Amino acid sequence: MTRRFFLRGALGGVLGSFLGAVLGLALLLAGAATPARASVDGARDFIRALSADAVAALDGQGVSREALQKLIETGLDVDSVGRFALGPFLRQSNPQKVDQYLKLFRDYVLISYPDMLAKLKLRDMDIVSVKSQDEHVTFVTSRIGYGEKDTVEVGWYVREVQPNVYKIQDVQVSGNSLRLFQRAKFEKILRDRWIDGLIKVMERWVETGREDPVL
- Tell which wins on pLDDT, 3 or 189: 189
- Tell which wins on pLDDT, 38 or 24: 38
pLDDT at 13: 44
pLDDT at 33: 32
Domain architecture of the chain: domains with CATH: 3-207 (3.10.450.710)
Q: What is the pLDDT of residues 51-65, one digit of tens each?
A: 777 777 776 566 677
Q: Could you tell me what percent of the chain has a pLDDT over 90?
A: 26
Q: Does the pLDDT of residue 17 top 70, yes or no?
A: no
Q: What is the pLDDT of residues 74-115, one digit of tens each?
A: 788 899 999 999 999 999 999 999 999 999 999 998 888 777
Read off the pTM. Answer: 0.73
pLDDT at 20: 41
Q: What is the pLDDT of residues 134-174, one digit of tens each?
A: 778 889 988 888 777 888 888 889 988 888 888 888 888 87
pLDDT at 61: 60
Q: Does the pLDDT of residue 19 top 80, yes or no?
A: no
* 134 Cβ neighbours under 8 A, 6+ residues apart: none
Q: Could you tell me what percent of the chain has a pLDDT over 70?
A: 77
pLDDT at 12: 41
pLDDT at 86: 95
Q: What is the pLDDT of residues 31-46, one digit of tens each?
A: 223 344 557 888 888 8
pLDDT at 27: 25
Q: What is the pLDDT of residues 172-210, one digit of tens each?
A: 887 788 899 899 999 999 999 999 999 999 999 999 888
pLDDT at 165: 86
